[in-house]
Amino acid sequence: MKSNEYESVEHINSDLTLMFENAKRYNVPHSSIYKRALKLQHIQQMKRRELLQRDDDDGDSMLSSATSDTSSTKRKSHKKNTKKNRMKMLLAAVTEAREAGTGRRLCDLFMVKPSKKDYPDYYKVILEPMDLRTIEHNIRSDKYMTEEPMVEDMKLMFRNARHYNEEGSQVYNDADVLEKILKDKRKELGPVTDEDDKMSPKLKIRKSSITLKKSKYLTPLQQKLNELYEAVKNYTDKRGRRLSTIFLRLPSRAELPDYYIAIKKPVDMEKIKSHMIANKYQDVDALVEDLVLMFNNACTYNEPESLIYRDALMLHRVLLETRRDLEGGEDAHVPDVPRLIQELICSLFVSVLGHQDDEGRCYSDSLAEIPALDPGNPEKPRLNFEIIRTNVERANYKRLDVFQDHMFEVLEKARRLNRTDSEIFEDAVELQQFFIRIRDELCKNGEILMSPALSYSSKHLHSDVEKEKKEKLPKEFEEDKIKREEEKQEAEKREDSIGGLWQSNLQRTYSQDCSFKDSMYHVGDYVYVEPAEPNLQPHIIYIERLWQDDTGEKWLYGCWFYRPNETFHLATRKFLEKEVFKSDYYNKAPISKILGKCVVMFVKEYFKLHPEGFRPEDVYVCESRYSAKSKSFKKIKLWAMPLSSVRFVPREVPLPVVRVASMFAPKQEEKPAEVPDESKLTDSIVDKEREDVPIEMANGEPGCQYYEQLCYNNMWLKVGDCVYIGSHGLVRHRVGRIEKMWMRDGAGYFFGPIFIHPEETEHEPTKMFYKKEVFLSNLEETCPMICIIGKCIVSSFKEYLSCRPAEVPEDNVLLCESRYIESEKLMKKFKGLKRFSLSGKVVEDEIYYFRKLIVPQKEPSPLLNKKIEELEAKFADMTDEELEDLGDDDGELGDHSLPQMQSSMSGDMDMMSYTPPQSTPKSMKGLSKKEGSKRKINMSGYILFSSEMRAVIKAQHPDFSFGELSRLVGTEWRNLESSRKAEYEERAAKVAEQQERDRAHHQMSPRAGTPVGALMGVVPPPTPMGMLNPSMTPVSEGVMGAYRSALIEGMVSIPGISPLHIGLPVFPQHLLPVIPGFLGMPYFGVNGMGGGPGAGNIHGSQMGVMGPGQQAPPPYPGQGQLGQPALLQPSTPVFVSPPARSHRLLHSEAYLRYIEGLSAESSTISKWDQALSVQKHDVRLTKEQESRLPSHWLKSKGAHKTMADALWRLRDLMLRDTLNIRQMHNL
């Protein structure tokens, strides 16, 4: 293709077809290559048909296009100018629009984006800013191919303005007016005129089909993202209700400011879709993360019993199921570490045993003679290369260091049993050096496999060999000296016995050459000598001396070379073809027994050169010397034989190095009998030898022996190990970490932190966890070792992605990256577990590091399905009409997808009594779900100090979390002088006495009725200066979570309100009653009431106090509380002038009217008499006013026709009960 060699599509099609057919013919049908070839061939055929169809279409319009070549360019430019002019006209309609009456240009605030310096929050809220100058530039630079993208940018700009600015503001209204002008102008211009009308019908069809195909052919990632998004968006429940409607778009900050206070990362489906269009998601996980965040926000802000909460959980489950279907739901492939270690060991073993010298001789051949049983230590198990080979084949080695120990034991035994100048000794040293080098290459010096085996390096080997040689060389020198004397004596005896009865050396006549049977023999020649016994091959002798005796007989003397069958060796040894060995045997023979000449060449020359004038069968190779006395071989390093008269020439083709088996080797079908016997000892896993490692503990308990490493119940444990602990009543066993272990009276114990599983934590059902994730708890326990079920390992997140221990199965590898704080119900990431420095006797774990990091998948919370089933059961009893009412509640806030806040009421104005909880997983929201009694807070000096110092520290460190502030407060308290601490204790004692008096007084009053807050699903929080009141209703965590610390640090110390312990959760009885729907508004229509039994109420009379910055109640008809009569002391209202607030007030008009209506002469806060006289028929509500009614106070409209009727009925009931309370208490 690059060379332009294809003349047509058919040519490239035939080549592609040939390639695919070749692949299918060569590979088996079930192979991956075969399947890929089949799939690609199918795509090729489809594309070919498409191109042929396109060619046919082109043929129909060929004539018309050929005749209009000259006009085509003009038509294109005219068409382009027409579209551009249209876009300019739309832009001009927006930019030239002016306000009626004033003449103000409406587009002034839309010309440029807001300054990042002046409005930094704008760019946090608006992710895709747009302005008119950008749109104008895009039109001029022809970036808009059609009108639609330009109109979409306009709509985006107006949508951004409405999203950021509050409803009713100038910018908000201008955006509405300009968008209407844009729509009207488009209608005025009429539909887009296209040149398609002048084209042939077939050409139009072709153009439309091309457009469809462009949209159809998405990248695999885009297809997955679209499928995932559409699955969530289009999901409907059994009743046909689409659940995603409420999640399409968030309300603006003006519509629901407290939502943006509670939710730090708001996101909706429109924003997610825009990210998909802009290709901001690099993988499926990024999209899933945003969708999960959206559902988590909904669950954080809304009540657990609400419909939107249930919808969020349902869609969350749909998301996970769809994702599992798309990607299989499995973790990215986790390498099989035990198998990889087996492959590494096998590769190392094969490399070592196949290691050869330059001549192709395997060093391991000589070591085959090493006995399996160690003569120096017969009690040790039998071990040689054959036994190691069997262990490797059976995968009995789970650790590299164990395999290395066995290999080194064989090699060290070979060195110990042989002389330093022997071939076996030198081969053992060479193999051990080679083992270390290949081991380091395979492990990459610890980058792939970190093992204690790597601690033994070539330097250690060199040191050990030198030390061994120093010990052996003096002994070997003495042995050589004695051996030389013995050989000298034996040689003299042989000469005397064989040489005859000559008297002296004078009787011999030496010469450098001699002739025999027309052949000349010289000193330095190799000759065949007649064998001593028949049927044997001739002896090979190297001539060192020639002489003639007195009788005239000629003799030779020299070194004898042995053939392999003349040596003593193991049947497993292999030899070079035509190999002989220089022996330590020297003797003389008569010249008359010479059978002919031959040549023995050194191994380094044999394969490259050959002697002139000799037949190949008369040429031999020598590589080693042979000692008949020790029956051992030793490689010749330097060929010291004198040069003969033979001339050597290079071979045309070097000979291949071929080694053959010994003549004593068993036949192919025969098997050695001793191998099975040895292998019987290797049926089980070969484990590392360990020992108990005691340790002295400085602060240990008497009678306890502490250990770093200990074997208990056939299980080796060391400090730092993690174990499963038998846990009754839990789905999965807890995990403990051994930080100390000891034996006492024969029983074993260990101490350490406990890890818990996700189902043991309190969290949102939408939270996702990694598979096999655990959390470090605050528990640290001492456990008996009998409760240990098995071993496991808890890895940090970084280690879990990158490595695995060699001996731990994958199922027992757990992940921990967070600590679970029980008191705060929080999961907080931490740096890592404590590391221990252990002694050298403790066996360390071998760690295998992956070449590529794995990507672990997350799985849904174990609470998800359970919570969905609970909510399904709850809503299953509701009729379609009631569900529609709930859906209407969602829809009215409606078009903006306002997050709903459902209450837990049932029936027509049925009210549920509220019992304060004992503990809660959230800061506020879940309080109404549990029952319990109020907590009694004992005043102490620290609590008093904390209540005063927290505000100071908070001002110094505004970004610190609640837990971090608590730690700083604790540090300040510890550093406080003793005298100051005593002052705080005295003050605390006085406050405690006052509390006791108040408690005793309150216990005498009857039980209080239902607080007004029970009618509300979610109540916005008070401002940081708001008073704490026990009659506050439960509040959504999303609203209150951000204010927990602010509520505490803003606490005012007044009689009747007990200070709140900083470490305790904020309970509803500590908060003010609040007007529903108004941020930070205390309810002034009624007196504060206790929310629980009188016996549990630790507060005295409550004061309805309004903090600075709080807003007044709106002019809704009637303000009162429904409840049982109760006797309470009246409280004097206190008013504080409101300071300026940094953010916009939602109901400024009502607030100002309230301030203006304050009067010193007034005995009541509100004009209740006027509210009492208002009736339903006196008030006509517009649709806008109806849409803004606090319909979320009620679960449904019940038997009433409209929600307004239901609220009028609620008002009447509250007024009636308020008057009843007044009469009961004679107020």
Residue-wise DSSP of 144-159: -SSHHHHHHHHHHHHH
Domains in the chain with CATH codes: 9-60 (1.20.920.10), 69-215 (1.20.920.10), 225-330+864-894 (1.20.920.10), 337-475 (1.20.920.10), 505-661 (2.30.30.490), 693-853 (2.30.30.490), 904-1224 (no CATH)
Name 869's Cβ contacts closer than 8 Å, sequence gap at least 6: none
Residue corresponding to tokens 């999965």: 732
Residue ranges in the chain modelled with pLDDT below 70: 55-80, 193-217, 328-332, 491, 493-507, 666-683, 877-939, 961-964, 999-1163, 1165-1168, 1227
Token couple for 721: 């190990």
CB 143 within 8 A of CB 135: no
pLDDT in tens, 58-102: 555 444 444 444 444 444 455 557 788 889 999 999 999 998 888
* pLDDT (0 to 100) of residue 331: 53
Helix (H, G, I), strand (E, B) or coil at 784: strand
* pLDDT (0 to 100) of residue 559: 92
* Calpha distance 132→540 (Å, rounded): 106
Count CA atoms closer than 13 A to 491's CA, side-chain side: 14
- DSSP track, 697-724: -TTPPTT-EEEEEEEETTEEEETT-EEE
- DSSP track, 740-783: EEEEETTEEEEEEEEEE-GGGS---TT-EEETTB-EEEEEEEEE
E strand or H helix at 1215, and its extent? helix 1203-1224
* pLDDT (0 to 100) of residue 200: 44
Contacts of range 754-758, beta carbons closer than 8 Å, 24 or more positions apart: 754/725, 754/779, 754/780, 754/781, 755/722, 755/794, 755/814, 755/816, 756/820, 757/730, 757/731, 757/732, 758/861, 758/862
For CA atoms 378, 382, 383, 385, give the dihedral sign.
positive
Token couple for 311: 């919808």
Query: Which string of b and e fits 344-380 if b means at least 16 CB within 10 Å?
Result: bbbebbebbbebeeebebbbbbbbbbbebebeeeeee
Helix (H, G, I), strand (E, B) or coil at 397: strand
Using only C-alpha atoms, the chain has a radius of gyration, in whole angstroms, of 48
* Selection from 10, 42, 6 nearest residue 24 by Cα: 42
Name 35's Cβ contacts closer than 8 Å, sequence gap at least 6: none
Token couple for 738: 């051994």
* pLDDT (0 to 100) of residue 823: 87
CB 561 within 8 A of CB 541: yes
Please, what is the angle between helix 220-233 and helix 307-327, to 10°? 150
Bridging pattern class, strands 554-562 and 803-805: unpaired
User: Position 897: which residue type?
Assistant: S
pTM: 0.50
* pLDDT (0 to 100) of residue 484: 77
Contacts of range 285-290, beta carbons closer than 8 Å, 24 or more positions apart: 285/855, 287/225, 287/228, 287/229, 288/228, 288/319, 288/323
CB 600 within 8 A of CB 354: no
Residue corresponding to tokens 């060199």: 462
| Dihedral pair phi/psi, residue 853, rounded to 5° | -65, 140
| Strands across the sheet containing 803-805 | 449-450, 847-849, 803-805
* Calpha distance 524→542 (Å, rounded): 6
* pLDDT (0 to 100) of residue 796: 92
Token couple for 341: 């270690």
Provide the Cα torsion 301, 302, 303, 305; round to 10°. -150
